[in-house]
């Protein structure tokens, strides 16, 4: 009889209570700021991290999850009797974590040959960040409880990663330009003119798809973009930083246009905030052209 578990990293930005309730295994990223190191989710809450950012001008640093950590996690789960591990990682074009998950698998089977034929490890590249993979990981864990097999769950996740996208508007680009990890933000040159970029996250890449002048125009412009690009009658998810005001306004606007409220609200966590800043509004959709 199969025993399946979802393994992911803390950049999924799922609340800890959801992680615990659904039995999702999460490997945390470690961040360092002001000489202090801590594990995302486990040592500091997202709110505590936002408060920490307000006390420093330093951009927090974080490193990829190592092959050794993955190997040890696979061994732990194998010893707990799991037959299938579905490992979902942060975008491989923004972190070496996904590649390390594969190296860790190879090392695990080399050092534990008795596990061959008893354990399957599926390594998936989410191609994105935050609830882009946190939400489907949550839904995948629910599918396990309903009796879905590993192949069905992997197919569901791969479909999601291939067809969904995030449209995000950071209120400023201080963090994005200093971290250098978001190429679209790094290249944006309209800040001095009072413009804010609309950044598309899709297929592992980022691009600036529009520019918005003034905060009052963010909600109507994002709603227009979503209506144009979203597959009709599919759920959407809203993301925000430390302030959810514009996300709530955007939901009202999208509800008028689509007849649907957001499937989920979520705040971006420490890793994402370190790279794009703690102030943004974003919407995750299933793309119409996909």
Contacts of 60 (CB under 8 A, 6+ apart): 31, 32, 33, 53, 270, 273, 274
What pLDDT digit, counting tens, does each position of 204-249 carry? 999 999 999 988 999 999 999 999 999 999 999 999 999 999 999 9
**pLDDT at res. 203:** 94
Cα dihedral 35, 267, 137, 139, rounded to 10, equals 160
Do 213 and 127 lie in one domain? The reply is: no
Provide the CATH number for the domain around residue 82.
3.40.50.10170
Within the chain, which residues score under 70 in pLDDT?
Answer: 178-193, 290
The pair of structure tokens assigned to 87 is 């490992």
From the CB of residue 187, how many other CB atoms can be counted at a distance below 10 Å? 12
Do 180 and 87 lie in one domain? The reply is: no
Do 153 and 22 lie in one domain? The reply is: yes
The H-or-E segment that residue 257 falls in is helix 245-258
Do 169 and 253 lie in one domain? The reply is: yes
**pLDDT at res. 284:** 98
Do 115 and 254 lie in one domain? The reply is: no
Contact present, 120 and 84 (Cβ < 8 Å): yes
Do 200 and 241 lie in one domain? The reply is: yes
Do 34 and 17 lie in one domain? The reply is: yes
Total-model pTM = 0.93
Q: What is the count of structural domains for the chain?
A: 2
Contacts of 72 (CB under 8 A, 6+ apart): none
Give the range of the structural domain holding residue 89, as residue numbers without chain letter. Answer: 4-162
**pLDDT at res. 36:** 85
Contact present, 16 and 48 (Cβ < 8 Å): no
Contact present, 230 and 285 (Cβ < 8 Å): yes
**pLDDT at res. 290:** 61
**pLDDT at res. 194:** 73
Do 106 and 188 lie in one domain? The reply is: no
Final residue of a structural domain among 141, 162, 183: 162
Do 205 and 109 lie in one domain? The reply is: no
**pLDDT at res. 56:** 83
Return the half-sphere exposure (C-beta side, CA atoms, 13 A cut-off) of residue 264: 20
Round to whole Å and give the CA distance between 98 and 105.
11
Final residue of a structural domain among 146, 162, 178: 162
**pLDDT at res. 195:** 86
Provide the CATH number for the domain around residue 272.
3.30.1180.10
Do 37 and 145 lie in one domain? The reply is: yes
**pLDDT at res. 187:** 57
CA 119 vs CA 19, 46, 250, 251: distances in Å:
23, 34, 44, 43
Round to whole Å and give the CA distance between 207 and 167.
10
Do 192 and 147 lie in one domain? The reply is: no
Final residue of a structural domain among 130, 162, 194: 162
**pLDDT at res. 190:** 59
**pLDDT at res. 2:** 94
Do 182 and 51 lie in one domain? The reply is: no
Q: What is the DSSP string of 101-164?
A: HHHHHHHHHHH-GGGTTT-EEEEEE-SS-THHHHHHHHHHHHHHHTT--HHHHHHHHHHHHHHE
């Amino acid at each position: 009889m199969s025993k399946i578990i979802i393994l992911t990293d803390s950049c999924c930005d799922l609340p800890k209570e959801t992680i615990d309730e659904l039995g999702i295994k999460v490997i945390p990223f470690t961040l360092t700021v002001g000489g202090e190191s801590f594990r995302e989710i486990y040592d500091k809450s997202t709110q505590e991290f936002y408060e920490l950012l307000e006390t420093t001008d330093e951009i927090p640093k974080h490193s990829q999850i190592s092959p050794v950590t993955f190997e040890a996690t696979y061994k732990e789960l194998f010893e707990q009797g799991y037959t299938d591990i579905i490992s979902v990682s942060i975008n491989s074009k923004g972190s070496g974590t996904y590649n390390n998950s594969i190296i860790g698998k190879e090392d695990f089977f080399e050092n534990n040959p008795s596990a061959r034929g008893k354990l399957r490890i599926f390594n998936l590249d989410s191609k994105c960040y935050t609830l882009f993979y946190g939400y489907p990981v949550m839904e995948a864990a629910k599918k396990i409880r309903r009796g879905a097999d590993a192949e069905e769950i992997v197919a569901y996740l791969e479909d999601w990663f291939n067809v969904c996208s995030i449209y995000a508007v950071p209120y400023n680009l201080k963090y994005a330009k200093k971290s250098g990890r978001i190429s679209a933000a790094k290249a944006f040159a309209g800040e001095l003119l009072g413009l804010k970029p609309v950044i598309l996250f899709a297929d592992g890449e980022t691009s600036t798809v529009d520019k918005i002048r003034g905060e009052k125009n963010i909600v109507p412009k994002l709603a227009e973009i979503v209506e144009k690009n979203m597959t009709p009658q599919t759920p959407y998810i809203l993301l925000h930083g430390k302030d959810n005001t514009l996300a709530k306004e955007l939901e009202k606007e999208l509800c008028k246009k689509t007849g649907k409220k957001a499937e989920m609200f979520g705040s971006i966590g420490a890793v994402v905030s370190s790279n794009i800043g703690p102030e943004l509004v974003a919407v995750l959709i299933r793309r119409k052209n996909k």
